[in-house]
């Protein structure tokens, strides 16, 4: 049976190729990491009915159901249709499962829905992003995190979107208690100081984390109505040269974030190595090959940044470069 299975079709349909002969695992996509209890219960039912009774929670906030017989794939696709409907994932045909395996599940930390430090609704933006980019077979990883604590570990992705806020200060509500100054120093970058009984913010030093807002007892500090984002790019794991993403744009607006990522897909389509295995090539390798300037030309096409935004004129990555010589001294 296993020799008759088209493994490329299997993986494109979001089933994992298994080391166990005759078996596979269904990958359930959960954009933004939030799923309702009804859908989670349905996943458990599918695992009991078609799998081996276990569920694997992936690092990208997806769910895998292992132990599925290859011949049961069509039945599993029908069984997970309600889950796909609830998650709002784009689909080409009902009851046919997921239409692509590339463009990995969009990850998000809990954001402002739960966390007092979250600068925006990460789940909402992650779902919006998933609608824009999926289905797609390119190997792209995107993650959202609510603030610079980076609980979403976005610096390991091709695009990491870090929430920022421009703290708004009302001196009439400030009592000079220095709570904001204290906690900005302890939990952030020390951008605040007390001058003549009032707090002064160093705008060059401030990273827009919102710690001052969270710890002010009188609400002298509040979040800006406009949401801003720090975009970090080309983080990756892998064998060749793993590295963390570096800052590209800060104080970006939402529309610019989405347009840049949309443009990046066009860039990859243009320059991806035609010999890349199943279309999987980290974008960072493409940037290394074409040069950073060419990447910027494509990604910034028709992007109109707000006046506050700052763009890195040059991005340098470190990473792990393996020493191939035999001389260890």
Q: pLDDT by residue (tens digit) across 243-298? A: 999 999 999 999 999 999 999 999 999 999 988 766 678 899 999 999 999 999 99
Residue ranges and CATH numbers for the domains of the chain are: 2-87 (3.90.480.20), 107-164+229-311 (3.30.413.10), 168-222 (3.30.70.20)
Give the pTM: 0.92
The per-residue pLDDT of the chain, averaged, comes to 92
Q: In whole angstroms, what is the distance from residue 28 CA to residue 24 CA?
A: 13
Q: Is 195 helix (H, G, I), strand (E, B) or coil?
A: strand
Are 193 and 199 contacting, i.e. CB atoms less than 8 angstroms apart?
yes
Q: How many CB atoms lie within 10 A of CB 27?
A: 23
DSSP 48: H
**C-alpha 67, offset from chain centre:** 28
Q: In whole angstroms, what is the distance from residue 174 CA to residue 116 CA?
A: 20
Q: In whole angstroms, what is the distance from residue 309 CA to residue 35 CA?
A: 34
Q: pLDDT by residue (tens digit) across 193-252? A: 999 999 999 999 999 999 999 999 999 999 999 999 999 999 998 888 899 999 999 999
Q: Where are the beta strands (DSSP E) in the chain?
A: 15-17, 23-28, 56-57, 63-69, 107-108, 142-145, 159-164, 168-169, 192-195, 198-201, 221-222, 228-233, 246-252, 310-311
Are 76 and 97 contacting, i.e. CB atoms less than 8 angstroms apart?
yes
């Amino acid at each position: 049976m296993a020799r008759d299975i088209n493994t490329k079709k299997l993986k494109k349909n979001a089933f994992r190729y298994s080391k166990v002969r005759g078996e596979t695992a269904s990958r359930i996509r959960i954009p933004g990491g939030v799923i309702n209890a009804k859908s989670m219960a349905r996943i458990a039912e599918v695992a009991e009915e078609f799998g081996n009774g276990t569920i694997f929670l992936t690092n990208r906030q997806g769910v895998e159901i292992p132990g599925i017989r290859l011949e049961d794939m069509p039945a599993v696709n029908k069984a997970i249709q309600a889950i796909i409907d609830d998650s709002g994932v784009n689909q080409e045909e009902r009851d046919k499962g997921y239409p692509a395996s590339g463009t990995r599940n969009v990850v998000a930390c809990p954001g402002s829905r739960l966390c007092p430090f979250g600068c925006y609704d990460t789940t909402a933006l992650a779902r919006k992003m998933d609608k824009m980019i999926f289905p797609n077979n390119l190997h792209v990883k995107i993650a959202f995190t609510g603030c610079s604590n980076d609980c979403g570990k976005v610096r390991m992705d091709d695009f990491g979107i870090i929430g920022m806020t421009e703290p708004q200060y009302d001196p009439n509500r400030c009592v000079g208690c220095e709570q904001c100054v204290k906690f900005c120093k302890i939990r952030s970058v020390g951008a605040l100081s007390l001058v003549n009984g009032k707090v002064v913010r160093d705008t060059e030093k401030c990273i827009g984390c919102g710690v001052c807002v969270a710890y002010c007892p009188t609400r002298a500090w509040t979040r800006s109505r406009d949401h801003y984002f720090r975009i970090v790019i080309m983080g990756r794991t892998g064998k060749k040269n793993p590295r963390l993403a570096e800052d590209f744009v800060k104080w970006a607006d939402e529309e610019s974030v989405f347009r840049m990522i949309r443009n990046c897909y066009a860039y990859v389509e243009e320059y991806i190595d035609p010999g890349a295995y199943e279309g999987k090539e980290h974008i960072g390798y493409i940037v290394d090959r074409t040069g950073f300037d060419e990447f910027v030309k494509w990604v910034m096409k028709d992007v109109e940044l707000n006046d506050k935004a700052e763009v890195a004129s040059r991005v340098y990555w470190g990473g792990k470069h393996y020493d191939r010589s035999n001389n260890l001294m």
